[in-house]
C-alpha cells in the first residue's frame, strides 16, 4: 500500500508534464476541431530554445519566459502559413500538413543541433524531501507539479475572466455565432496557438532541466501521450487536460513500479480506448448535440 | 551497366508496390467509407507477423517446402489475421464519430506495437528477423494489379454502393434501407485484411518486421500517401505511394547538400503539396488534363470513387 502511494506521488510530476502539453492539443481542438499533430514538436522546440538562451548565459528567470514567447510566436507563424489556408478543406488535409510540419521540424533541429541527445545547461535539484517516515518526494517533482497546477489555474482564469478568453470560449462554442457578434476569428485562433505553445515550451524546458537530456524526437512519444491525455480528460476542456495528464502519469509510474515498464506505452492508449468507448466525450467533457 | 540499374531499381519498385497496396487498402476506409483511421499500420504489422509465423513455424511443421505454397499460405494467414484484427477494432469502435474514431484507432496501433514488443518468441523489440525471402517484384506487382481490380469491382457491387452511400449521407442511406453499420464494418475489415496482404509481401521481401512499424508514424505515412495522391480514387493512392517512395529516392542523386537532407525536403514537399492541393494530386492532374470544368462544380461529383 505504501509502495502504491509512493508510485502515485512519483507519477504526478510526469503527469504534470503531459498535462502542460495536453493543454495545447485541447485548446486548438476546442476552437478549430483540428488535431494539431505538430504540437509535440513545439514541446521539443521549447526545450531547444530555452537551452540556447541558457547556453548564452541568460538566467533561468529570463530564458524560460523568453523561450516560451519565442515558441509561441513560432506557433502563430506556423498556423498562419500552414493551417489557415486549409481551414475548411476537410479534416484530413490539415492533419497531413501537421504531420509534414512535425517531420520538417524534427529534421531541422537534427540538422541545426545534432541527432544525438544533448545535455541541459541547467538542472533542477533532485534533492529528496521526506514527508514523515514513509514518503519521499524529489524537490524537482514537487516544483514541476506546482508549476503545472499554477499555470493551468492561470489559464483557466484567463479563459474565463478576460475578454480575449471569452473570444476563445465563444469560438469553441459556436464559430458562426462568434463571428456574428464580432469575435476576431483569426486573432483568436492565433492566440490559442500562442498559449498552447507557451505551455508546451515550459513543459519541454522542465523536461530538459529534470532529466538533463533533450533530443530531436522527444516530441513524438510525449506528444502522442499528451494527446491521449487531452482526449482522456475531455478534449476542449482545460481541467480535463490536467486530469488526463495526471491519470496517464500515475498509471505509467504504477506500471514501472510494478515491473511492467515495457507495457507502459500501450497502457496509456488502452486507458484511452476504454474511456472513449464508455464516455466518448472524455472524463470531464460535455457531450455535443448532433443535429440532423 | 544496364544490369546494375535493374538491380538498383528492383528495391524501390518493390517498395512502391507494397506501399501501393497499403495505400489502396486505407483508401477504402478513408476515402471509400469516410472513416478516419489513424492506426492502419497495425493491420499491416499484424499481417506481416502472421505471415512470418506461417512461413517460419506452421508451414515447415506441415512439411511444406515449396516457396510458392509457403507464400500463398502466408498471404492467406495475413489476410485472415489482419481482417480479424480489423473486426476486433470495428465492432466496438465504429460507434464512435469522426475524430473520436481517429483517436481510438491511433490508440489501437500503439497497443499492437506494445504487444509485439513484448512477444519475445517473435523477436521482441529487435523485430521478427531472418524470415524467408519469397517474393520478387513481379509477384508483388501482380498483387497490386489484383488488389486494384478487386477494389474496382467492389466499388461497383451492391456492398460498395452501400459503403459510398453511407459515407455521403448516413441518414439518407439508412432511410433507403442500407445497413450503415454493416457497410462501415465491411469496409473497415476488408481494408484491414488487404493491409495484411501488404504486410505479408513486406516481411517476405525485407525479411524483417519491427514492432514499431505498427505504430503511429507508419500509419501516418500510409495516410500521407492516400491523402496526398487523392483520397477519392484508387489511382490517387497508387500515385501517392509513388510520391512517397520516389521523391526521397530521386533526391539521392541530387547534389550532396540536398541528398543528405532529403527527408527534410520531402517534408517540405508534403506541406507545399497539401497547401496547394488539399484534395490531392490526382484531382489536380485531372483538372489539368481534362477540358471539363473543375470537379466539385456539381455537388457530390468529386467524391464518387473512380479508379
Residues B265, A3: Cα–Cα separation, whole Å:
50
CA angle in degrees (0–180, nearest 5) for A130-A136-A140: 95
For the stretch B12-55, pLDDT in tens is: 999 999 999 999 999 999 999 999 899 999 999 999 999 999 99
Task: Give the number of A-B residue pairs with CB atoms closer than 8 Å.
Answer: 122
Are B275 and A265 an interchain contact pair (Cβ–Cβ within 8 Å)? Answer: no
- Among the partner-chain residues A108, A231, A280, the one whose CB lies closest to the CB of B264 is A108
Are B264 and A104 an interchain contact pair (Cβ–Cβ within 8 Å)? Answer: yes
Q: Most distant CA pair in chain A: distance in Å?
A: 61
Task: Report the 3 state secondary structure along A189-236.
Answer: HHHHHHHHHHHHHHHHHHHHHHHCCECCCHHHHHHHHHHHHHHHHCCC
Q: Which has the closest alpha carbon to A143: A289, A17, A7, A292?
A: A17
Gyration radius of chain A over CA positions: 19
- Among the partner-chain residues B108, B264, B267, the one whose CB lies closest to the CB of A273 is B108
Where is pLDDT greater, at A25 or B302? A25
Interface membership of A256 toward B (CB under 8 Å): no
pTM for this entry = 0.88
Which pLDDT score, from 0 to 100, does residue B150 have? 95
- Distances in Å between the Cα of A72 and the Cα atoms of A195, A205, B43 are 7, 14, 38
User: With contacts defined as CB-CB under 8 Å, which chain B residues touch A280?
Assistant: 96-97, 100
For the stretch B148-163, pLDDT in tens is: 999 999 999 999 999 9
Binned at pLDDT 50, 70 and 90, residue A288 comes out as low
Which pLDDT score, from 0 to 100, does residue B257 have? 81
Which pLDDT score, from 0 to 100, does residue A291 have? 52
User: With contacts defined as CB-CB under 8 Å, which chain A residues touch B114?
Assistant: 262-263, 265-267
Residues B43, B35: Cα–Cα separation, whole Å:
16
Are B107 and A273 an interchain contact pair (Cβ–Cβ within 8 Å)? Answer: yes
Are B278 and A273 an interchain contact pair (Cβ–Cβ within 8 Å)? Answer: no
For residue B112, what is the nearest residue in chain A, using CA coordinates?
Answer: A266
For the stretch A12-46, pLDDT in tens is: 888 999 999 999 899 998 888 888 999 999 999 99
Which set of grid coordinates corresponds to residue A252? 505509467
Are A265 and B110 an interchain contact pair (Cβ–Cβ within 8 Å)? Answer: yes
Per-residue pLDDT averaged across B79-106, rounded? Answer: 91
Neighbouring-strand partners of residue B233: B306
Shortest CA gap A20–chain B (Å) = 19
- pLDDT mean across residues, chain B: 88
Are A96 and B274 an interchain contact pair (Cβ–Cβ within 8 Å)? Answer: yes
Per-residue pLDDT averaged across B99-113, rounded? Answer: 90
For the stretch A156-195, pLDDT in tens is: 999 999 999 999 999 888 888 998 999 999 999 999 999 9
Shortest CA gap A91–chain B (Å) = 9
- pLDDT mean across residues, chain A: 88
Per-residue pLDDT averaged across A191-220, rounded? Answer: 92
- Among the partner-chain residues A82, A268, A272, the one whose CB lies closest to the CB of B271 is A82
Neighbouring-strand partners of residue B128: B209
How does DSSP classify residue B254?
Answer: S
Which pLDDT score, from 0 to 100, does residue A83 have? 92
- Distances in Å between the Cα of A262 and the Cα atoms of A113, B117, B260 are 30, 8, 34
- Among the partner-chain residues A35, A111, A220, the one whose CB lies closest to the CB of B99 is A35
Which pLDDT score, from 0 to 100, does residue B292 have? 53
Per-residue pLDDT averaged across B282-289, rounded? Answer: 82
Amino acid at each position: 500500500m505504501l509502495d502504491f502511494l509512493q508510485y502515485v506521488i512519483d507519477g504526478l510530476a510526469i503527469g504534470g508534464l503531459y498535462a502542460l502539453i495536453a493543454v495545447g492539443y485541447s485548446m486548438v481542438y476546442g476552437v478549430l476541431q483540428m488535431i494539431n499533430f505538430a504540437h509535440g514538436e513545439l514541446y521539443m522546440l521549447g526545450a531547444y530554445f530555452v537551452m540556447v538562451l541558457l547556453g548564452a548565459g541568460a538566467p533561468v528567470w529570463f530564458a524560460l519566459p523568453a523561450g516560451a514567447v519565442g515558441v509561441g510566436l513560432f506557433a502563430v507563424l506556423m498556423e498562419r502559413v500552414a493551417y489557415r489556408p486549409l481551414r475548411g478543406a476537410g479534416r484530413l488535409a490539415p492533419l497531413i500538413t501537421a504531420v509534414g510540419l512535425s517531420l520538417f521540424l524534427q529534421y531541422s533541429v537534427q540538422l541545426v543541433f545534432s541527432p544525438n541527445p544533448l545535455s541541459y545547461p541547467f538542472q533542477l535539484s533532485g534533492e529528496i524531501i521526506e514527508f514523515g517516515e514513509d514518503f519521499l518526494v524529489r524537490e524537482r517533482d514537487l516544483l514541476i507539479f506546482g508549476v503545472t497546477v499554477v499555470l493551468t489555474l492561470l489559464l483557466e482564469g484567463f479563459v474565463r475572466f478576460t475578454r480575449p478568453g471569452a473570444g476563445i470560449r465563444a469560438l469553441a462554442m459556436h464559430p458562426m455565432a462568434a463571428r456574428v457578434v464580432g469575435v476576431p476569428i483569426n486573432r483568436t485562433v492565433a492566440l490559442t496557438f500562442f498559449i498552447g505553445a507557451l505551455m508546451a515550451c515550459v513543459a519541454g524546458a522542465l523536461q530538459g532541466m529534470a532529466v538533463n537530456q533533450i533530443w530531436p524526437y522527444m516530441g513524438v512519444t510525449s506528444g502522442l501521450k499528451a494527446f491521449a491525455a487531452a482526449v482522456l480528460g475531455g478534449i476542449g476542456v482545460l481541467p480535463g487536460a490536467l486530469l488526463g495528464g495526471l491519470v496517464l502519469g500515475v498509471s505509467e509510474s504504477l506500471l514501472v513500479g510494478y515491473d511492467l515498464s515495457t507495457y507502459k506505452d500501450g497502457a496509456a492508449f488502452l486507458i484511452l480506448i476504454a474511456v472513449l468507448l464508455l464516455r466518448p466525450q472524455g472524463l470531464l467533457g460535455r457531450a455535443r448535440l448532433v443535429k440532423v | 551497366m544496364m544490369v546494375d540499374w535493374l538491380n538498383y531499381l528492383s528495391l524501390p519498385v518493390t517498395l512502391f508496390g507494397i506501399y501501393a497496396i497499403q495505400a489502396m487498402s486505407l483508401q477504402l476506409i478513408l476515402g471509400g467509407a469516410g472513416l478516419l483511421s489513424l492506426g492502419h499500420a497495425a493491420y499491416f504489422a499484424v499481417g506481416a507477423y502472421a505471415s512470418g509465423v506461417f512461413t517460419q513455424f506452421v508451414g515447415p511443421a506441415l512439411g511444406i517446402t515449396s516457396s510458392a505454397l509457403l507464400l500463398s499460405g502466408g498471404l492467406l494467414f495475413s489476410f485472415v489475421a489482419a481482417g480479424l484484427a480489423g473486426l476486433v477494432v470495428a465492432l466496438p469502435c465504429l460507434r464512435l464519430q469522426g475524430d473520436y474514431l481517429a483517436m481510438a484507432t491511433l490508440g489501437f496501433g500503439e497497443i499492437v506495437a506494445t504487444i509485439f514488443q513484448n512477444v519475445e518468441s517473435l523477436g521482441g523489440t529487435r523485430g521478427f528477423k531472418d524470415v524467408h525471402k519469397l517474393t520478387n517484384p513481379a509477384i508483388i506487382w501482380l498483387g497490386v494489379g489484383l488488389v486494384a481490380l478487386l477494389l474496382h469491382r467492389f466499388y461497383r457491387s451492391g456492398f460498395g454502393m452501400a459503403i459510398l452511400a453511407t459515407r455521403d449521407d448516413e441518414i439518407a442511406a439508412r432511410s433507403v434501407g442500407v445497413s450503415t453499420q454493416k457497410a462501415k464494418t465491411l469496409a473497415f475489415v476488408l481494408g484491414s485484411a488487404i493491409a495484411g496482404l501488404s504486410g505479408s509481401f513486406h516481411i517476405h521481401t525485407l525479411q524483417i518486421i519491427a514492432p514499431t512499424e505498427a505504430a503511429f508514424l507508419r500509419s501516418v505515412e500510409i495516410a500521407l500517401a492516400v491523402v496526398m495522391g487523392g483520397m477519392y480514387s484508387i489511382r490517387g493512392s497508387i500515385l501517392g505511394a509513388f510520391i512517397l517512395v520516389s521523391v526521397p529516392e530521386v533526391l539521392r542523386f541530387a547534389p550532396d547538400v540536398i541528398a543528405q537532407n532529403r527527408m527534410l525536403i520531402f517534408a517540405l514537399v508534403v506541406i507545399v503539396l497539401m497547401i496547394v492541393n488539399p484534395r490531392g494530386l490526382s484531382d489536380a492532374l485531372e483538372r489539368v488534363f481534362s477540358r471539363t470544368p473543375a470537379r466539385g462544380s456539381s455537388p457530390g461529383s468529386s467524391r464518387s470513387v473512380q479508379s
